[in-house]
Amino acid sequence: MTIAQVCKRCNVTADTLRYYERVGLIPAVRRAPSGIRDYTEVDVNWVDFIRCMRAAGLQVRALARYVALFRKGDATLSERKDLLVRQRDLLAVRMEAQRAVLEKLNAKIATYEERCAVWERTHLRKP
């Protein structure tokens, strides 16, 4: 699969894919004899995984560590699991903080809705 095909399928830019490869977020992509990157389904699965983890707020450093551990094989299963558990716990904390912010926003919006309704009743009455 070409880089353009992967970009379209995964909704990322070519620069992003090259960056992911350069910093070790995805294993090195096989090259065609012409030197052009030739992505496999396994490569695309890595891109999807990295995008999902980045969207969840995982840092590049943590993801690069995960990929490095993955390359070392099954001897690192426990360490990889621990890394993901720590990241999940951090995500849960961030989500709780975001939930609290959402509640505050909803309360503030409700206040404005009440004030707007009062204003409309007092100012938009028919004579």
For position 105, which CATH number holds?
A: 1.10.1660.10
CA angle 32, 72, 7 (to 5 degrees): 40
Domain hosting 67: range is 3-123
The conformation of residue 72, written as its DSSP 8-state character, comes to T
Residues 70-110 have pLDDT tens digits of 999 999 999 999 999 999 999 999 999 999 999 999 999 99
Average pLDDT, the chain: 93
CA distance 50 to 61: 12
CA distance 27 to 57: 21
Residues 112-124 have pLDDT tens digits of 999 999 999 888 8
Number of structural domains the chain divides into? 1
Tell me the whole-structure pTM to 2 decimals: 0.75
